[in-house]
Amino acid sequence: MRNGDSAVDSTAISLVRTTFKAVAAIEDGPARLTQSFYSVLFANNPDVREFFPAAMEAQRERLVHAIAYVIDQLDDPEPVLLFLAQLGRDHRKYGVVDAHYTAVGNALIFALKNFAGNEMWTDEVDNAWREAIALIASVMMEAANAEDGPATWTGTVVEHKQVLQDVAVVRLQLDRPMEYGAGQYVSVTVPGRPRMWRYLSPAIPANPEGQIEFHVRRVSGGWVSPAMVGQTNLGDTWLMGSPLGALGVDRTRNRDMLMIGSGTGIAPLRAQLMEMAMRANNPNVHVFVGGNYPCDLYDIETLWQLSLTNPWLTVVPVSEEDTNPWWHLDPIPTPPAGMYKRITGKVSAVAAEFGDWSNHDVQIVGSASTIQTAKFRLQAKGVPVENMRHDPLY
């Protein structure tokens, strides 16, 4: 992997991977490594503690997961470098400066060395890790230092609509427009949940008026999403970081597209479809929209409307159950003439069986298990894994 003059050679990459895998294979390895990393980081750099939320149980593994993700992808530098540059720009929201990267790198090496033991942690391994971390940090720092746009945006809630018992559509007016690509996501904090950043995907394309819309599902037992869905008031202000992610229409590839979205995973797909609808030429797109119950397809009418006026777009609704739960009283919407009727089944299975997608660009959005199942099923049907894209799984 190469960035400017620095590079990590293939021997170093394999040493880094081997040690990381060995540590991950120890019982509770990743969790214990994370704990030890944060203990060392906070003990040696008490000022850094205040960047992190008071309660860190739920998401403390994210930083270490990201490093694992990067290490896993080191052979394919382009997407990793893009990911790290975005992450670096986004990390400006914490107030991170260059010196913090040294502190994080040292804490990680200390924790890893402690776990790997002297036998595995040779000088060569030590050098390989230092090179890898230096490169990761330099890409993040360079991108952050080169960015002169705002580190955060403030959005004022102008509409909050509960479209399902556990899903809300929230519209906000930003203090200044944000130039995100349709399909990207941003990290968000809400009042009452300080420093607890969560990712949300805008459901409409960026616009010069600075309007933004999110679809949020309440995760039961979650720290932040229940507040977003159940305790949001008009006039509340949400804070947002820089855009992240690489989902989008790749017009250089000139391929038709398959999109699979389940639940609020429809948001980044909808933003892309809306943006495509503003252009004259588009690839053909099949979008499969999934949920447990028919009512979980809360946005199907918008997609049908888009499809009615855009012949390149085919919408296939899918739900695991054929009827709504008894407490949901609204009738199941009927598709307009010429549109596919809802199919009963799991969205990944229905999409995989529906046609030949081996030459399509594929995007999958939803929970980690939806993404993994869809990838597995599509691969079994001959779709090359390099044609499938999804956001990083944390």
Ligand X SMILES: Cc1cc2nc3c(=O)[nH]c(=O)nc-3n(C[C@H](O)[C@H](O)[C@H](O)COP(=O)(O)OP(=O)(O)OC[C@H]3O[C@@H](n4cnc5c(N)ncnc54)[C@H](O)[C@@H]3O)c2cc1C
- Contact positions vs ligand HEM (CB under 6 A): 48, 51-53, 56, 59-60, 62-63, 66-67, 87, 90-91, 94, 96, 100-101, 104, 136-137, 140, 187, 197
> What's the closest the beta carbon of residue 186 comes to ligand HEM, in angstroms?
10
Pick one of 73, 324, 367, 379: the residue that binds ligand X (CB under 6 A): 367
Q: How far apart are the C-alpha atoms of 375 and 369, rounded to whole Å?
A: 10
Q: Which among 341, 183, 191, 364 has a CA at the least distance from the CA of 274?
A: 183
Q: Which among 354, 202, 208, 227 has a CA at the least distance from the CA of 290?
A: 354
Q: Which among 196, 195, 293, 184 has a CA at the least distance from the CA of 249?
A: 184
Nearest residue to ligand X on Cβ basis: 222
> What's the closest the beta carbon of residue 173 comes to ligand X, in angstroms?
18
52 binds, among ligand HEM, ligand X, none (CB under 5 to 8 A by kind): ligand HEM
381 binds, among ligand X, ligand HEM, none (CB under 5 to 8 A by kind): none
CB atoms within 10 A of CB 271: 25
Amino acid identity for residue 87 in this structure = L
> What's the closest the beta carbon of residue 127 comes to ligand HEM, in angstroms?
17
Binding residues for ligand X restricted to 215-254, rule: CB under 6 A: 215-217, 219, 221-225
> What's the closest the beta carbon of residue 187 comes to ligand X, in angstroms?
8
215 binds, among ligand X, ligand HEM, none (CB under 5 to 8 A by kind): ligand X
> What's the closest the beta carbon of residue 56 comes to ligand HEM, in angstroms?
5
Binding residues for ligand X restricted to 258-317, rule: CB under 6 A: 264, 267
104 binds, among ligand X, ligand HEM, none (CB under 5 to 8 A by kind): ligand HEM
> What's the closest the beta carbon of residue 227 comes to ligand HEM, in angstroms?
15
Q: How far apart are the C-alpha atoms of 362 and 383, rounded to whole Å?
A: 9
Q: What tokens were used for 143?
A: 């991108």
Residue 171, C-beta contacts closer than 8 angstroms, at least 6 positions apart: 157, 158, 159, 160, 211, 212, 213
Residue 286, C-beta contacts closer than 8 angstroms, at least 6 positions apart: 256, 257, 258, 259, 314, 316, 351, 354, 355, 360
Query: Strand 167-174 and strand 211-217: pairing?
Result: antiparallel
Q: How far apart are the C-alpha atoms of 263 and 344, rounded to whole Å?
A: 15
Residue 329, C-beta contacts closer than 8 angstroms, at least 6 positions apart: none
48 binds, among ligand HEM, ligand X, none (CB under 5 to 8 A by kind): ligand HEM
State which residue, 82 or 219, has the beta carbon closest to ligand X: 219
Contact residues toward ligand X (CB under 6 A) are 58-59, 185, 198-201, 214-217, 219, 221-225, 264, 267, 367, 391, 394
